[in-house]
Structures are given as structure tokens and as C-alpha cells.
Amino acid sequence: MSGMKTMMLLSALTALFMALGYTLGGSGGAVIALLVAAGMNLFTFWNADKIVLSMHNAREVDDESAPEFYQLVAELAERARLPMPRVYLIDEPHPNAFATGRDPDHAAVAATTGLLSMLSREEVAGVMAHELGHVRNRDTLIMTMVATIAGAISMLANFGLFFRGNNEEGGHGNIAASLLAVIVAPFAAMIVQMAISRTREYGADAAGAEISGNPRALASALAKISGKAEMIPNPVAARNPAAAQLYIVPVHVSEIFSTHPATEKRIAALEDLALAMGGAALPQRASALSPATPKSRKSSALDPLRRN
């Protein structure tokens, strides 16, 4: 049902883009809008992960440069029956994490050093299991497509305002169309984008609870980092608001305009899952949460994991 709802909302977003193209350019404009949407999605299909990781100045790590974090992700990927994703760290105090990539075979997961310093090992496992849940559910591709089309709608609306506003022969009808394009279409796109993103977050929480076997660890992580994520500046989200949908917790205070469900509702859902799974965290295999044997004892951003 969740997948069907997502596809319906994605279709609605594409239809909105075409309708905006028709408003501004007639039937030809609708066709051009469809071709532009297809071209943009094709480009992001192949390049979204590179763009997102570069935007965050993420650095790739392995079992030598970040043994505990890398081994933790490897264990979780094995449990999820996923190919091993590329693993990245972001040197930022802002506590957050995300997944990207066009499919499970080309996936990457990333976490900030701020998140690793704030959470226990079990909580980090819950967060990264959530991100692998996005990978398994193929949310990374869906959300990339959504962000691309929503961004294109805003861009086309701004173009429509400029074009129509400078067309003196258009009269009042064109002015009204311009106002409709600039105000209604981008707002409608934002609503659809939020609906899709919120649906996928609940799905990733459930998948993360299943993969880690510990819903309460994920709930605890959400409780710890949600408030901090709103208070500690996130320079990437400040420059690119569309990036907000990538993260495990929102970076804006307002629930109405957030791309995520309210954290309290997500925690309540995870508590229900914990009860359904027996009322407590399931036993973990020793290799999952025990510290990895480092091949290098160099100091790194993962030292807080050792302390916790």
C-alpha cells in the first residue's frame, strides 16, 4: 500500500509539472515539460550519489580508516541481505545521516561526526539500519526523482513569472496565469514532496527496526538527535533546502512544513514495534555491536563510539 501511495503521489507531481508547462506554453509546453522531467531524472539517476556526497564534502572510509563504523555497517548490510554500500563520514557537528545511490548495488551511506559523538554504539546501529532500510526500499531513487521534479516545478514557475510578466500583449489572463504558476504550483509540489517523504520515513523506521533487531535503540537515537539537529547549524541544508529530505531527522522546527513525520510519532511507532517483537530489544550477535579490532590505532572521529 505504501508503494502504491508513493507512485500515485509521484505521478501527481509529474502531472503537476506537465500542467504547469501547459499553462505557460500550451500543449507544446506540456510535451517540453515532460521531456525536461525525463532528462533531469535520467541525469540524476546516474549522478545523484556523486552530487549529494560532494555537496556534503563526505569522505569515504574503510575498515582501516574507520574500523568500528565500517564493520558495523557491514554487519547490518549482511543482516539486511544487501550488497555492502560505500561508507562515508562528514566532518560536521550537526548530528544526522543519510543514504544515497540509484539502487542497492550502487548505494552509499553517510553519517556526520556529530552524530557518532552523540550516540551509543547500539543507537548508531539503529540509525544506520534505518538508512539501509531506505536502500532496501529503494527510497534513494524515489526521493531523488521527487526532489528533481519539485525543483523543476519551482524553476519553471519562476521562469513563467518572468516570461509572462514581460509579455505586454498577454493582458490580465496572462497575469493571472503567472500568479497561479508562481504561488499555487510550487506550493502544491511541496505538499506532494512532503507526503512522499513522510511515507518513506515510516517505512525506513520499520525496516531499520527489523534489520537492527532493536527498535528502542533507534527510538532513543531519534529522541537524542532531533532537538540537536534543529539547534546546530547545517550549512548544506541552509544552502540547499531540498537536502532536508535526505536526513534521518528534519532540520526545520515547523512540523507543518517538515519533510519528516513528527519525531514523537515515529518514536511511538517504534515502541509499538518493540512490543510486537517481544517487549525488549532482540539479542544481538557478538560481532554486530562489539568493537571491531582496529588495524590502525590512529585517532579518528569514531573515538566517541569506543567511549560509548
pLDDT(209) > 50: yes
Least confident of 184-193, 246-255, 263-272, 278-287: 278-287
| 22-66 residue pLDDT tens | 777 777 777 887 787 778 777 777 887 888 899 899 999 999 999
Question: Which residue has better confidence, 237 or 292?
Answer: 237
pLDDT digits (tens, 9 = 90+) for 251-268: 764 454 566 788 999 999
Helix (H, G, I), strand (E, B) or coil at 292: coil
Provide DSSP, the chain: -HHHHHHHHHHHHHHHHHHHHHHHHHHHHHHHHHHHHHHHHHHHHHHHHHHHHHHTT-EEE-TTTSHHHHHHHHHHHHHTT-PPPEEEEE--SS--EEEE-SSGGG-EEEEEHHHHHHS-HHHHHHHHHHHHHHHHTTHHHHHHHHHHHHHHHHHHHHHHHHHHHT-TTSHHHHHHHHHIIIIIHHHHHHHHHHHHHHHHHHHHHHHHHHHHS-HHHHHHHHHHHHHHHHHS--HHHHH-GGGGGGSSS-SSS-STT-SS--HHHHHHHHHHHHHHTTSSPPPPPHHHHSPP--S-----TTHHHHH-
List 122, 123, 131, 201, catalytic entry: 131
Please report the pLDDT score of residue 293 as a whole number. 35
pLDDT digits (tens, 9 = 90+) for 142-171: 777 776 777 677 777 766 656 554 444 444
CA dist., res. 82 & res. 131, Å (int): 12
Report whether pLDDT(300) > 70. Answer: no
pTM of the entire predicted model: 0.75
pLDDT digits (tens, 9 = 90+) for 120-147: 999 999 999 999 999 999 888 777 777 6
Whether 131 sits among the annotated catalytic residues: the reply is yes
